[in-house]
Structure 1
Amino acid sequence: MCLIAGIGFDILPLIHGTTPFHENAMRQFLITNLAGQGVLAISTFMNTEQKILEFATVGISFLCLSILLLGGPGRRMFKESKRRKEEDEVGIASLIPGVAFPFFGATILACWLYRDIAGMLELGRSIMIMFFLLLTVVIIISHFNRRLNWEVIAPQQIGLRIGVLLLLMGLHILFVFLAGREATTDDTLIVDVRRAALGLALIWGFLLCNPLRITRMAFQNGGMAHSRPIFAALWMLPFCGFHAYSSDPSLLNPAVPGYASFLGTSGLLSIWGYAWYLHEDHLHISIHKRKANLPFLTSFIVCFLAIQMLYWDLRNGNENSFFYQRIWAAATLCGTMVLAFNFVRITLFSLEAWHKIPMFYGRYIQEKSLE
């Protein structure tokens, strides 16, 4: 969440011509968010369940408070934005996540505090996953429609397409809560609708981005420059959707089918890919000279395949499928280490000039000066 907030602090004031994020608000968010992560990390070393729950409650409270602090700036940006929705390349979707922050933080905190009620933990988890799905779709649209100006979706159509996505997400959240209240792993109607809604939400998130046009422009005549992690994140969505629909719920599964494959691949690739591309914008590196981080991409593709094979084994009744779990863990660790090493290298030890205004986004300042 710190990375997502950092991206928003960086470019949203430039795009919308407003200053919703004051320095104190950014400092408060950073302090409370890091405190929450720290306390949650400490909770994993506690030796009793009661201490784990107590520390986890404090950590989650700090994290939710940090998100709630973004609610005020998000509403100010929504009200003061100087870009008309029909002219914004991302449409209303550019402002939805910021407006949703207070609801997101308050709901997650309430679900944890009332976790003794059947279905509340499942409800909070589903809201968190759906929020990250919304962020992933917005990031993909923003990269191809705004940053690269490929015009893959008309701004006037984005609102309707996002509305359908929100409807499917809401349907999934509702049936997750009902399935949690039902407390069964059998294939009941509620469980089937829950899986179907998740699969449809992931597949519709893929389709609304106009993937065929993106793919054609990415490969036609040698291909146009783009972020390969974000492109990979787009094409992993339908596989995650199919996996979410076809996998059976089971106590043997290490995570909810669909959730793990989405977060472990598409969600992480889109956020880190966007952050990496934005940092290179600050370095003013030509988009035609940017190199793909192949070790990072390869690690997450291996992770994705391992997740698929793991659930396939579980579906076929193999209860001791540790081989693919080890590959999954090793690939994720490898990808994280490669990414961390490269980020430290290009931020702390780079001799390249870092510019306050990232390339491309300076055009919004020029547009405002001409008005």
Structure 2
Amino acid sequence: MEQRETGPSYTWAAGSYVDLFLAAAVTQILFAVSLYWLLFVDSSLVSDISPGGSALSSSNLPMLAIGIMAGVGWMMAIVQGIGFDITPLNFKTAPFDQSLISMVAALNIAGQALMFIGIVSGDAELFRQLGLMGVTLLGTSLIMAGPLTFRFFRTRSSSLDKIGPWSYGPGFGLPVIGMMTILAWLFADSDVFFELYWTVLIDSFWGMMAFAVIFGHFHGRCNWELMDPERTHLAFKVFIALCILHIALVFANETGQISEDRVNASFSLPLVWIFLIARPDRIWKKVRDGEPHSTQMLSAHSLLLVTIVVGIYEGAFMENDTGMFYSRFLLMLGVATQAIWAAGDWLHDDHRHKQVKERKKPWPNIVSMFIAMAGIVYLFVDSASGGGELPRIELVKLLTVVFLAFGFLDYLLWMVKDAVFGYSDWQRIPMFYGDRDLEVDEEDPYGIGVAESE
């Protein structure tokens, strides 16, 4: 299929986020139901026997399914939606076609749906087979989208992006994540590959993506000038180096080359770095001064510090008993999820040309996620103290899942209300991005007029 030519036609992709946002909203509910199902309805998948004779719990498949549905499924759909929408405006090129967006969305939904059916079926063999089909579709969607990053580089006429390599760095990792996702399911019985997969997907990729979104909001969208352009590139290189160090240490420990479980605490090294270079002092000064910003993005940034503390203790003092579960849960659903939700919310309001001071704060969502993350911290403290020391653990588990589900449902209702039925004030070219990219005398291909000033 022919690609659209670069030049003024790069604006055709603006507004293309809606399909992927809706896909994420629906599949988040599948994720919440799957998590609840495995914990409280039917736990047979974590105790049944696989065809090879090993318990499925030892093959890591249930945990792998939940992690993939989140980290490669609905979360990836949101960031891809944002990327398809604003990257062409930033780089002034759109070297892809609408069919690619539709294909990515379809593969994402189908992959998660197959995994969901496998989980609720209660049949271990069916779960394994449908899961393999699901991860193949999800992995393929990333492998297809990955080369776009290279094409953006080759065809861009200029770059108006303010966060440098943080905007395109995650894109280079998409094919790697896609391939590793498929291999992780095939080699689920390998604890070494299982742990390597999480260090790449969650610790490194989603750590990078979460910071890119947070940094992009405060430094780029809010124009708070947190970092000089030269330091932006240096900060990215140091982050990559710390991620490689973390991956190498964990891999060496898993393969027996070193015998020191405390190297898992290196999980927090890249996070400490990005927390400090984001200049929390400047962020909070702007907040105290009343500068407009996303409250949920601030919540995500604040939880980064909690994640760092939990990661250090869990890695250094819990002897690999938890597999860094609590730290990764906080990073994925506390930091990264809130960051991409906030970015998506602001992007949609940009398309509505809604003034920043008039934008609503999603307090029900923020509060529900805060309670859910507080539940995770509570469970972490109980595990750190030996287990069974704190009261009402099962109730806390249930409430954590319930409040997570409430957050997902709130996001779905927001999407239906604002994105499906809220088109009265919606414009294809968003404010802020359109103001920078579209010349006043440039023909608007959609007949909606030049983007208004903020």
Give the TM-score, by structure 1 length: 0.91
Amino acid at match of 2:143: L
Aligned residues of 1:43 and 1:56 also touching (Cα < 8 A): yes
Unaligned runs of 5+ in 1: none
Amino acid at match of 2:215: I
**Please, which of 128, 131, 152 is the counterpart of residue 53 of structure 1?**
128
Aligned residues of 1:9 and 1:21 also touching (Cα < 8 A): no
Give 2:302's aligned residue. 235
Distance 1:52 1:182 in 2: 32
Distance 2:439 2:219 in 1: 18
Distance 1:237 1:81 in 2: 33
Aligned residues of 1:201 and 1:241 also touching (Cα < 8 A): no
Question: Identity of paired residues, percent?
Answer: 26
Over 3 Å counting, the alpha-carbon distance change for 1:306 and 1:156 in structure 2 is same
Aligned residues of 1:284 and 1:355 also touching (Cα < 8 A): yes
User: Matches of residues 88-127 of structure 1 in structure 2 within 5 Å?
Assistant: 88-127=161-200
Confirm or deny that 1:366 pairs with 2:438. Answer: yes
User: Matches of residues 337-348 of structure 1 in structure 2 within 5 Å?
Assistant: 337-348=409-420
Give 2:376's aligned residue. 307
Over 3 Å counting, the alpha-carbon distance change for 1:369 and 1:70 in structure 2 is farther
Residue 368 (structure 1) shift: 10
Confirm or deny that 1:146 pairs with 2:220. Answer: yes
**Please, which of 266, 288, 296 is the counterpart of residue 365 of structure 2?**
296
For residues 126-182 of structure 1, what are the alpha-carbon distances to aligned partners after superposition, in whole Å with 9 as ceiling and x for unaligned?
A: 211021111111111111111111111112211111111112222222233334335
Q: Give SS of 1:82's match.
A: coil
**Please, which of 71, 92, 112 is the counterpart of residue 17 of structure 1?**
92
Aligned residues of 1:112 and 1:120 also touching (Cα < 8 A): no
Distance 2:388 2:248 in 1: 30
Distance 1:369 1:13 in 2: 19
Residue 108 (structure 1) shift: 2.4
Amino acid at match of 1:231: L
Residue 76 (structure 1) shift: 0.3
Confirm or deny that 1:72 pairs with 2:147. Answer: yes
Aligned residues of 2:91 and 2:156 also touching (Cα < 8 A): yes
**Please, which of 92, 102, 112 is the counterpart of residue 37 of structure 1?**
112
Give the 4+ runs in structure 1 shifted more than 3 A.
178-183, 248-255, 366-370
Over 3 Å counting, the alpha-carbon distance change for 1:168 and 1:190 in structure 2 is farther
Amino acid at match of 2:302: W
Amino acid at match of 1:142: G
Amino acid at match of 1:137: F
Give 1:226's aligned residue. 293
**Please, which of 413, 418, 421 is the counterpart of residue 349 of structure 1?**
421
Give 1:27's aligned residue. 102
Say which structure, 1 or 2, has more relative contact order (CA 8 Å, 6+ apart). Answer: 2
Over 3 Å counting, the alpha-carbon distance change for 1:179 and 1:49 in structure 2 is farther
Q: Give SS of 2:264's match.
A: helix
Give 1:190's aligned residue. 260
Aligned residues of 1:111 and 1:123 also touching (Cα < 8 A): no
Q: Which moved more, 1:302-311 or 1:271-280?
A: 302-311
Amino acid at match of 1:124: Y
For residues 62-81 of structure 1, what are the alpha-carbon distances to aligned partners after superposition, in whole Å with 9 as ceiling and x for unaligned?
A: 00000000122221012222
Q: Give SS of 2:422's match.
A: coil
Give the TM-score, by structure 2 length: 0.75
Distance 1:25 1:107 in 2: 22
Over 3 Å counting, the alpha-carbon distance change for 1:251 and 1:48 in structure 2 is farther
Q: Give SS of 1:44's match.
A: helix
Residue 339 (structure 1) shift: 2.1
Q: Give SS of 2:353's match.
A: coil
| Paired positions, count | 361
Amino acid at match of 1:332: L
Distance 1:342 1:79 in 2: 37
Aligned residues of 1:176 and 1:194 also touching (Cα < 8 A): yes
Confirm or deny that 1:331 pairs with 2:400. Answer: no
Q: Give SS of 2:309's match.
A: helix
Amino acid at match of 1:192: R
